[in-house]
Amino acid sequence: MDLGLKNKIALVTGASRGLGFATARLLAQEGARVAINGRNAEALEKAAAQITAETGAETLALAGDVVDPATPPRLMEEIKAAWGGLDLLVANAGGPPAGAFESFDDEVWQKAVELSFLSQVRLIRAALPLLKQSDCASVLTITSYSVKQPIPNLVLSNSIRAATVGLTKSLALELGGQGIRFNSILPGWTETERVVNLMSARAQSSGRSIAEETARQAADSPLGRMGQPEEFGRAAVFLLSPAASYITGVMLTVDGGMYKGTL
């Protein structure tokens, strides 16, 4: 199937590694021009160089912290200056820390809101003028299956990521008439650096090894394993692409069956 992504312009934030990098790499494989963003300039340049070497695609490394309100408008200005527009946006940011409800004060909650929700609000708001000029505008937010099935010891993520789902669905309704699609992927446990850190925190708390904690969590999937970033990336690229032109307002779990509900 031709996904129709050749020469489309994409921005993927949080893309120096993990789910963002996998998505950017697969977009590039499909012929898109991809701007990637992350906080670590050195890691970002290495990621961009790897994507270009592997795919031959034009890749732009735009360092910056999306939690800073000044960063999203700057990213859009740099993309417009380089390529003239934007077709696809992947609003991705790191997750808040693990811990029990009583361990977090207002400052921690506010930082989590800024990281996992307001960064996406600001990215979308900054991107809209460019997206409105595209004939295939598509936005993908990345959340977690925890918005449907809360994960123990992740009360910050469970709570705040649900706001992004509400935002995504609302914008699908509000801006669909202007030709902009909005979808979200709710990944389950996927083998990324963040998951390794979470397993490490669990191991410290339980006294088990990281490998034991990882195996225990993987067993929650009917497939008996965690996902790979590329498996997430394939679903993301399809939802973003013109091939999915009649799909909007969808909250897609990519979780190996870890979510046990029927809706």
CB-facing half-sphere around the CA of 229: CA atoms within 13 A: 17
Q: What is the mean pLDDT of residues 88-94?
A: 93
- DSSP result, 57-110: --EEEEE--TTSTTHHHHHHHHHHHHHS---EEEE--PPPPPB-GGG--HHHHH
Q: Domain residue spans in the chain?
A: 9-188+229-253, 190-226
Each residue of 209-242: pLDDT tens digit?
Answer: 988 888 888 898 999 999 999 999 999 999 999 9
Checking if the pLDDT of 145 tops 90, the result is yes
How many CA atoms, within 13 angstroms, populate the side-chain half-sphere of residue 87? 20
pLDDT of residue 5: 98
| Residue of 194, 192, 114 lying closest to 154 (CA atoms) | 194
pLDDT of 196 reads 82
* DSSP, res 146: G
Task: State the pLDDT at residue 263.
Answer: 80
pLDDT given for residue 246 in this prediction: 98
Full-model pTM: 0.93
Q: Higher confidence at residue 202 or residue 89?
A: 89
Q: Are 48 and 22 in contact (CB under 8 A)?
A: no
Task: Quote the pLDDT of residue 223.
Answer: 95
Residue 27's pLDDT band (cuts 50, 70, 90):
very high
CATH class of 9-188+229-253: alpha beta
